[in-house]
Amino acid sequence: MSTPVISVDNLSYRYPDGTAALEAVSLHIHPGERLALLGPNGAGKTTLILHMNGIHMPQTGSISVSGVLLDNSSVMDIRRRVGVVFQDPDDQLFMTTVRRDVEFGPRNLGLEGAELEARVDAALEAVGVADLADRPPNHLSFGQKRRVAIAGILAMEPDIIVLDEPTANLDPASRSELTALLDDLDITQLIVTHDLLYANEVCDRAVILNEGRVVADDDIGTILRDDELLAKHRLALPKGVRI
């Protein structure tokens, strides 16, 4: 068995007011997997992914990324290994051009010259926005901004890419383009979404998180065909759709 890209073991976390956000969560993601993280609002999904790249630190339990234990000494290494694409790309794009945005991360790792240029060019090409390299990000469509945000993460060459609600605010054409893009990426993916049809299109496995606990972990088809399970955790396919 390969070393998991992400190992979450018995992770619990409470906010300062005492609210339990995560309760004894255990979850392993292996290289090449495409995992959907599902659950209603307030289930703890965002808290979990913020632990995965060291924004939150474990209070009890542990997280390892490719065998590296998350702690104060490893947090910068962990953040390089776990690339998070947030729901709103404007939270990630802040430089004057697309190229400058995409090169920001690897430049901070110390890359420069031809190596940096090659890394950025490869990331832009991978998401189909090489022709936008000199454009200001604020002049792009929402779908183009999302692609640029993904390129900025890919340029860091992470072990896993985490996408938070990647289809939010996308029109049908942009959604289809994003599906094709992610399908072509040779990287482990964790996709946090309420869009169950999209999860079924791009993921092999699904985990349902509710009230801070893992309540289901199975192949995606098995989970999406379990109407009782979905209803219990406030999830639903579009009316009339069967998997």
* Count of alpha carbons within 13 angstroms of residue 209, beta-carbon side: 26
Local confidence band at 170 (pLDDT 50, 70, 90 cut-offs): confident
Domain 6-232 annotated CATH 3.40.50.300? yes
Local confidence band at 109 (pLDDT 50, 70, 90 cut-offs): confident
d(C-alpha 131, C-alpha 232), whole Å = 46
Domain definitions of the chain by residue range: 6-232
Local confidence band at 220 (pLDDT 50, 70, 90 cut-offs): very high
- HEC string for 106-171: HHHCCCCHHHHHHHHHHHHHHCCCHHHCCCCHHHCCHHHHHHHHHHHHHCCCCCEEEEECCCCCCC
The predicted structure's pLDDT at residue 1? 61
d(C-alpha 207, C-alpha 216), whole Å = 5
The mean predicted confidence, pLDDT, of the chain is 93
The predicted structure's pLDDT at residue 238? 85
Tokens of 16: 């300062």
- Tell me the pTM: 0.92
